[in-house]
Amino acid sequence: MMRISRHIILAILLVSFSISVKAKDIYLVYYATINGKSGHVGIAIDNYKIVIRDSIVEGHTTSKYISIQNNTLTYYDLWPEKDDFNALNVDKNTTGIYYKLPAASWENSITVQSLLQKGIPHEEHYPIDGLIRISSPPQKDQQLKKAIEKLINKNIPFNVRTNNCADFVEAIIEMHCNCSIEAEESIVLRKSTTPNRLYQEVSKMENVTILKDGSEKAKGSFTKERLLKRNNTKP
């Protein structure tokens, strides 16, 4: 009788059944709205690999398939095609650019340390202002990435009022935690979700760890720090 490799069996199991794995953590990646800069938030998720561990008990070999964190992250965020918003045009739609990084296997890995030391690789190119780790329930492991992909595939236009970077990340965290987050502030007579407010609210949640504290920079309002202090610095 032909023996089937346990690696082949693992592949079949992965297609047919969900394998119990350890919880994945997610991370709120934060750039402050301050001194004319728009600020930004993104979301990162731990990557895992499945490995096989054999053990011998009373002469019998058993194999166990487990997930091991590989210390890399998958990063998601949303940007406007152009960041030219002011007090008179914050309600307009513009083309949204959704990122999933690394975009290819040959690109540099994203890690907690790379975010802390270098920042996100595609836009800001300087160290992040804050980083919050949010513990993830095991049942959410595979669901969350699929939900993010569906959200991205909708290709909703960027809108400061209704679908900015903070709205995108807030929706992901709410799916992850099965909770509701109120991270809005008043911008030109209407409320909008902002990076500073989202950082403040997520930092108060249960099961979070502050890896880099951005609370001081998060105190400013969007109206004061972005609209009134806008300068030629790249947001």
Q: Among the listed ranges 47-61, 70-84, 216-230, which one has the minimum average pLDDT value?
A: 47-61
Where do we find the tokens 């690696």?
7
Residues 192, 229 contacting (CB under 8 angstroms): no
Burial of 55 (0-12, 13-18, 19+ CB in 10 A): exposed
Question: Domain extents for the chain?
Answer: 23-227
Check pLDDT > 70 for residue 131: yes
Label residue 72 by pLDDT band (50, 70, 90).
very high
DSSP 3-state assignment of 92?
A: coil
Comparing 91 with 118, which gets the higher pLDDT?
Answer: 118
Check pLDDT > 50 for residue 26: yes
Taking only the tens place, the pLDDT of each residue in 151-169 is 999 999 999 889 999 999 9
Taking only the tens place, the pLDDT of each residue in 164-202 is 999 999 999 998 888 999 999 998 888 999 999 999 999
Residue 234, pLDDT score: 44
Among candidates 118, 15, 144, 169, which has minimal Cα distance to 183? 169
Q: Which residues pair with 159 in a beta bridge?
A: 93, 163
Among candidates 148, 205, 141, 202, which has minimal Cα distance to 172? 148
Residue 145, pLDDT score: 84
Q: To which H or E segment does residue 184 belong?
A: strand 184-187
Q: To which H or E segment does residue 202 belong?
A: helix 195-203
Cis peptide before 157 (omega within 30 of 0): no
Crossing angle for the helix pair 195-203 and 165-177, to the nearest 10 degrees = 20
Look up the pTM and report it: 0.80
**Which tokens is 33 given?**
């709205």
Q: Which residues pair with 229 in a beta bridge?
A: none
**Which tokens is 114 given?**
């790379």
Tell me what the pLDDT averaged over the chain comes to: 82
CA distance linking residue 159 with residue 80, whole number of Å: 8
Q: Any idea how long the chain is?
A: 235
